[in-house]
Each structure stands twice: as structure tokens, then as C-alpha cells.
Amino acid sequence: MSADEALSRDLRRLRRAAALFMAFLLLLPWFFRYVPLSYPSWRLPRALPQEMPAPQPIPNTYPLPVRWVPVPVEAFERWIKERYPDSLVGLEELVIVNEVARRWNINPSILVSIIGAEHSFLSPRIVGWDHAVRYYQNPFSYGVFKGSKLPFAIGWEASASGAASIISKVILTMPQGDWTPAMYAEFWRRLSGYYVRGDLNDVAPIWLRNVSVISQGLWRATMADPKLWTRALLDAIPAAQLPGFVGDVLRAARSLAQSDVVRQTVIRSAEKFNQAMERLQAWLGEKAGKPVADAVMPMVVTVAGVALTAAMLMALAVPGVPPI
């Protein structure tokens, strides 16, 4: 083989190797995008136990949409996983947040939505692995400021408790009793300013918008599975307390009915609810006979109606998106 032929052969091999290497570089990001993302637990920051202030539950004289209500955290988790790929926020973490919300008598969707507004639910594909892992043990960014005496990694319970204490302070600046739509909007303005900038009179528009959209999405996910939430209601609220819960739902509905948007939404939802109940009654009559259907339907309508009404209130009132 001549020197020219050898050189030509080597050049072909070099070009082939370069082409394969370039193809590898192009495919590498896609490989890491779709490989199952996991992070060894020993790489996560270790939480340092902290003593947090004892919970001071919000009085029940405040409106239902800002107080604790039973939620199917499974629905929250499903919504998060669908929209925030590989989120480090799972069922175990959401159960902790829900329990903290119960102790403080604060609506759990408010707490959960803050994780999304602050850190995109710790999704590595959105915020990156460094950020997601760094904030895993403080997902509410509580005490993260210059001069803070708290360690950075304080754990889920302490972080949620700190956030709940902030929400509680803001709620207590609002009047007790039923709120109008404008008062819900004012609450969210105050919370955004106080949580982000430490000033009740300020407003953080982007944070506020994110929390509002996430809260609404969480409650829509709950409305999409009324059976799951009805079960959560019945598991958490004793039968003797159900009439009081129903009264709170109706009072909140009356105060919010001043809004045209709310009225139209309630009308549309009521129409769909009636259609669903008619189909259910027909199915029960076919399977079990008309006497059984007539006996069972009042109870079904009562429980399902309360669940639907309460979920609708949360979706409309908890976000409280004010004009920015």
C-alpha cells in the first residue's frame, strides 16, 4: 500500500470517528433527559432538627377557604408529577405539609403552592439538580436570608411550620368573618409582599401569580376526582361535625356570590352536577331497582354536593387572583 493510500485510509477513519463523536455529543443531552432521574439519599443534605414555635391555629371565625380542609394529597401529587417532571416532592412530603397545615388550621393548598412558586416543586429538569437538592430540606426557603440564625437545611416539617407561621400572621391581619372577593385578593397581595419582601404593604407580582395559578390547578385536580375527595372528607370530619362544615361552605359561597365570575362558574358546575346525579340515579335504578335508588340518592347527593361545592370554592377563592 502506498503512502497516499494509507493517508487516505487514515483520514477516512478519522472522519468516521469524528462523525460518531459528534453524534454522541448530540444524543448525550437526550439520554440524560430521559434516563430515570434519581438521587442517592446520602447525597441529599441532612436536616438539622430545629425547635419551631408552637402552632397557633387560625380561629374558625375566619372563612373556610383559608382554613384547613381535608384534601386528597394523592390528587395533589398526581397534578405535580404531571407538570413538574421528576419532582422531588412526593406523597411522603405532601403528607408532612398537610399535617402542618392541619395543626395551624391553614388551607393546605396555600402551603403546597408556595413550594411551586419558590422552587418549581424541586423539579431537576426545571431548576437543575444542584438547586433541587440544595433546597430539598428547606422547600419553603424559611429563614434563608443574610444574618439568619437558622441553618439552611431545617427539614420539611420545620420549613413548612415556618411558612405556616408567616401565612398565619397575614391571615390575622385580615378581619374575621366572611370575606368578599376583594378581601381574598387583598389577603393574597399581603401574603406575597410579606412572604417575599417582609412588607405587608408591598406586592410580589410574579410570586403572587405563580401561587395563584398553582393553587387553582391543585383544586381543579381535586374537583376532577370528587370520589377521592369525598372519601377524604368523610375520613377526616366526624359525622357530628358535617353539618357545621356544610354551614361554613354555604356561608363562603354566599359571600363569594357577589362576583359575576363566581356566579357563572357555580351555575355551570351545578348544571353538570345535576346531569351527573341523574345518570347515577338511572344507573342505580337499573342495577338495584328504583326503591333502592330513591333511598340512596339523597345521601349521595348531599355528600357529593358538599364535596363539589367546597372544591369549587377553593378553586375560586383560594387563588384570589387580583388585578396586578
pLDDT in tens, 85-111: 889 999 999 999 999 999 999 999 999
Examine residue 7 and state whether it is found in any structural domain, yes or no.
Answer: no
The 10 Å CB-count burial string (b at 16+, else e) for 226-255 is bebbbebbeeebeeeeeeebbebbeebbeb
Q: What is the pLDDT of residue 100?
A: 94
Is the residue at 172 inside a domain?
yes
pLDDT given for residue 283 in this prediction:
60
In the DSSP assignment, the letter for residue 65 is: G
Rounded distance between C-alpha atoms, residue 148 and residue 126, angstroms: 27
Q: Is residue 13 part of a domain?
A: no
Confirm whether 157 is domain-assigned: yes
Query: In residues, how long is the chain?
Result: 324
By 3-state DSSP, what share of the chain in percent is helix, strand and coil, each rounded to 5?
Answer: 70, 0, 30
Query: Is residue 33 in a domain?
Result: no
- The answer to whether position 186 is within a domain reads yes
CA dihedral 172, 174, 179, 180 (to 10 degrees): -150
Q: pLDDT at position 324, please? A: 33
Residue 156 in any domain: the answer is yes
Domain with 187 in it: 52-317
**pLDDT digits over 202-219, tens only?**
999 999 889 888 988 888
- The model carries a pTM of 0.68
In total, how many domains does the chain have?
1
- How far apart are the C-alpha atoms of 170 and 66, rounded to whole Å? 11
**Per-residue pLDDT at 256:** 63
In a domain, 301, yes or no: yes
Local confidence pLDDT in tens for the 324 residues of the chain: 676 676 676 667 767 766 665 665 555 554 444 444 444 444 555 655 566 668 889 999 998 888 998 888 999 999 999 999 889 999 999 999 999 999 999 999 999 999 999 999 999 999 988 888 888 888 898 866 665 666 667 888 989 998 999 999 999 999 999 888 888 889 999 999 999 888 999 999 999 889 888 988 888 888 777 777 777 777 777 766 766 776 777 666 666 655 555 555 554 554 555 555 566 556 656 655 665 445 444 444 444 555 555 555 455 444 444 433
User: CA 56, CA 165: separation in Å to the nearest integer?
Assistant: 8
